[in-house]
Amino acid sequence: MIRAILRAQWLSMRTFRLASSRRGAVFSVVIAVFWYGFWTVLAFAAEALLSSPGLRSEILAWMPLALAGVCAYWQLAPLASATMGASLDLRKLLLYPVPRRALFTVEVLLRITTCAEVLLVLTGAGIGILRNPAFGWRLIGRVPVALALFATFNLLLAAGLRSLIERLLNRRGLREVMALVLMLVGVLPRLLMVTGLPARRISGLFPAGRNPFWPWAATAHMMLGEPARVLPAAATLVIWTAVAYWFGRWQFTRSLRYDVQAAQASVSSMKERSFASGLYRLPSMLLRDPIGALVEKELRCLVRTPRFRLVFVMGFSFGLIVWLPMVLRGRGAHSPLSDNFLAVVSIYALTLLGQVTYWNTFGFDRSAAQLYFLAPVALWRTLAGKNIAAAIFIFLEIGAVSAVCSFLPVGISPGMVAEAFLTAGIATLYLLAIGNLGSVNYPRAMSPQRVGAGGARGRAQGLIFLLYPVALLPVFLAYLARYAFNSQLAFCAILAMAAALGTTVYWMAMESAVSTARQRRETIVAELSSGEGPMISE
Amino acid sequence: MPDSPAIAVRDLRKLYGDKAAVDGVDLVVPRGCFFGFLGPNGAGKSTTIRMLTGLIPPTSGSIELLGMPLAGQELEIKKRIGLVPDESLLFDRLTGAEFLEFVGRMYGLARAVAIERARSLLELFELRESRKLIAEYSKGMRKRLAMAASLIHHPDLFLMDEPFEGVDAVGARLMKDILLDQVRRGATIFLTSHVLEVVERLCDRVAIIDKGRIVREGSMDELRGGTESLEDVFVRVVGAGREFHELEWLK
């Protein structure tokens, strides 16, 4: 049964039928090679470090904390990156007489998709310890078993956490709060360190982390501890793994019974105030139809899309949480970051918004995107309408960031706010240009409910990763000129050139995107209408 | 050009690799006709409709709709066509009223007119739950809304792919009455359906497509020859030679 599910997923993932998909698949492979190549290098580094006999005492002292870090990364990285990996599409699989135990086993195995890189590093670390003459191959019976138990514990815990968090994120009203809490949990230690909590007090937490009660410390003791401490450590780790299994099964079973639509049913009793409805109509007062109608439709749809709302909240909260500690660390001293804090956070926010707006602009429309090809409206108007809606949200985001910053001790002036809007606006031109090309070349149906999923296909995300620096380069050059020549005039001149160039690039890209959309309309609609296999890859 | 046919298709082909989904279709649908386009699954019906709507380009052949070539006057033609495609073209995060207003404005109606027509269409199609998002509509409600959207700009030609699929008997009756009313005012309807009783009751003319080719075309009386039902004709034309083999293990 498990094999049947995995085979069905494999068959659903075959992308080598179409020439365009073949190119994309090759690109995905290249990106994967880079990503896992990086982690393989880290695994070799871990092996080299841990095989040094001179570091025996340091290894013994720091191994529990290193494993605690691994555990934290394993559980938090998927949340922080908002990509929770592949999972079973239970709506499809529950139709069949598949035992829950089998479904849970597949779900646990799928957790490897979010942290395969950690397994690489752990393998490197394990080999390093065994090759270290200070420990030696006499530990061959302990190290692999301890690491395997530790990995199993993490997989089970990750499966349970994923089920729990996904359910919470699907609850209307709770998801935005949940997202904030999760982000805070991720960055809280750094925030505390740079905002005044004495380093001594933080390092005082280290002995507590080394307590053999914890699973990471138990793993370390089981691998490297004195023979007398191995059995208690192994027992502790087994108990933790059993608890993680119970937690994972419990949460998974609850998710099986969970009704997403019922949880979100409050939309049916949605009582939108006439004030909000009037706001949606504002763009139509300035823009003629069909662009006015398109912008209005986009505003309504995006605001009602849970995933968009989550990213919008992340845009102004996560950006501040990430960058604020760096500014506060300087305690009033001038630095490029503190001088341009608002601009940096604004640019960060607009890049974050990309995954739910401009990178895959037809994604939330899914099969309904065919209306754009069927209606008597030129395609450039459709793209322009969507771009204007994206720009409105980008500027709203920057407005929100500015409002929050005005309450923080980071010295925000009206001039800085104007500069943030201007630079973000110019960067938006380049990002929209690339986004339009990406939207017609790599369209992908996106689920408005699944808040944890990324906005672009793997290959497109790789492309985005490469193109961000290119798109932001003109604005970066303007800032560079200001610092190099210490001249506001140089900054303004380069910014004006960047704006002119951005406008040209935008229109050229628009023409190209429209031409591509005409040629690929069949493929675009097909890709936006396509379903997935028994698993959902995010 | 009011005398020109509503649809004139000549030697229409659509190839996917070396496989022809539509293989040299010639079709003329007069104005004011209720035309049924039938065929077994995979015969090329949806591909033909998708080419007529401009959603996919033909490999070869020509399409004229309402006297205008689709290749040259696509936008002008689209303004006068009402569509009910097989796949959903509804935006799930809009309410029915918002969607109809949006479609109306996309077809060039003034906002006030679009709002008013949306309201009356929702009444007509019994979709009055104005605060409900389309995501929460049943399949039948979605089909009714899609048909309402196809009417909002008062088109001259309707292209409909399985419009009655998933609609209950009451809803289907309502939709049929509305379509017949449209034909009476002079509109043309080009419809595909697997429900042959519906086609038999509604359509003046019928074409049957199989393996990408038109295998029968004519008025309903010509096709039936006075004695057969449309289902008999259809099965004879496209199902000849197919035998029912019992599976041992299913006995």
Chain A contacts of B56, Cβ < 8 Å?
521-522
Residue in chain B nearest A526 by alpha carbon: B87
Residue ranges of chain B whose pLDDT lies below 50: none
Residue in chain A nearest B137 by alpha carbon: A268
Quickly list H helices, A335-457: 336-339, 341-353, 370-374, 379-405, 414-441
Smallest CA–CA distance, residue B153 to chain A, in Å, is: 11
Rounded distance between C-alpha atoms, residue B141 and residue B115, angstroms: 19
Smallest CA–CA distance, residue A245 to chain B, in Å, is: 36
Task: Say what percent of chain A tops pLDDT 70.
Answer: 70
Tell me the residue type at A254: R
What's chain A's average pLDDT?
A: 77
What's chain B's average pLDDT?
A: 86
Q: Which helix (H) or strand (E) holds B128?
A: none
Mean pLDDT to the nearest integer, A86-112:
69
Chain A contacts of B90, Cβ < 8 Å?
368
Can you give A244-305 as a three-state secondary structure string? HHHHHHHHHHHHHCCCHHHHCHHHHHCCCCHHHHHHHHHHHHHCCCCHHHHHHHHHHHHHCC
Rounded distance between C-alpha atoms, residue A83 and residue A93, angstroms: 22
Long-range CB contacts for residues A129-132, cutoff 8 Å, separation at least 24? A129/A50, A129/A51, A129/A59, A129/A223, A129/A224, A131/A47, A131/A51, A132/A50, A132/A51, A132/A52, A132/A53, A132/A56, A132/A59
Quickly list H helices, A442-487: 458-485
The pLDDT score that the predictor gives to residue B183 is 92
Nearest beta carbon to residue A371 from set B75, B89, B101: B89
Chain B contacts of A375, Cβ < 8 Å?
78, 103, 106-107
Do the domain assignments include residue B108?
yes
Count Cβ atoms below 10 Å from residue A497 Cβ, excluding itself.
14
Is pLDDT of A470 > 80?
yes
Choose between A30 and A52: higher pLDDT. A52
Nearest in space to B189 (alpha carbons), one of B168, B215, B163, B167: B163
The pLDDT score that the predictor gives to residue A122 is 92
Is pLDDT of A88 > 80?
no
The pLDDT score that the predictor gives to residue A200 is 58
Is pLDDT of A15 > 80?
no
Do the domain assignments include residue B209?
yes
The pLDDT score that the predictor gives to residue A453 is 46
Minimum mean pLDDT range among A33-47, A114-128, A347-361:
A347-361
Angle at A189 between CA A67 and CA A180, to 5 degrees: 110
Q: CA-based diameter of chain B, in Å?
A: 65
DSSP three-state, residue B15: strand
Domain that includes residue B234, residue range:
7-242
The pLDDT score that the predictor gives to residue A247 is 93
Do the domain assignments include residue B228?
yes
Total of domains in chain B:
1
Domain spans, chain A: 27-262, 281-530
Smallest CA–CA distance, residue A328 to chain B, in Å, is: 41
Do the domain assignments include residue B158?
yes
Mean pLDDT to the nearest integer, A62-67:
88
Cβ contact A296–B102 (<8 Å)? yes
The pLDDT score that the predictor gives to residue A90 is 59
The pLDDT score that the predictor gives to residue A116 is 80
The pLDDT score that the predictor gives to residue A163 is 82
The pLDDT score that the predictor gives to residue A506 is 92
Do the domain assignments include residue B250?
no
Q: What is the CATH number of the domain that holds B223?
A: 3.40.50.300
Q: Judge whether B98 is closer than 8 Å to chain A, CB to CB.
A: yes
Is pLDDT of A450 > 60?
no
B15: left (phi over 0), alpha (psi -120 to 50) or beta: beta
Structure confidence by residue, pLDDT tens digits, A271-310: 555 667 778 888 888 888 888 899 998 888 888 877 788 7
Mean pLDDT to the nearest integer, A314-342:
68
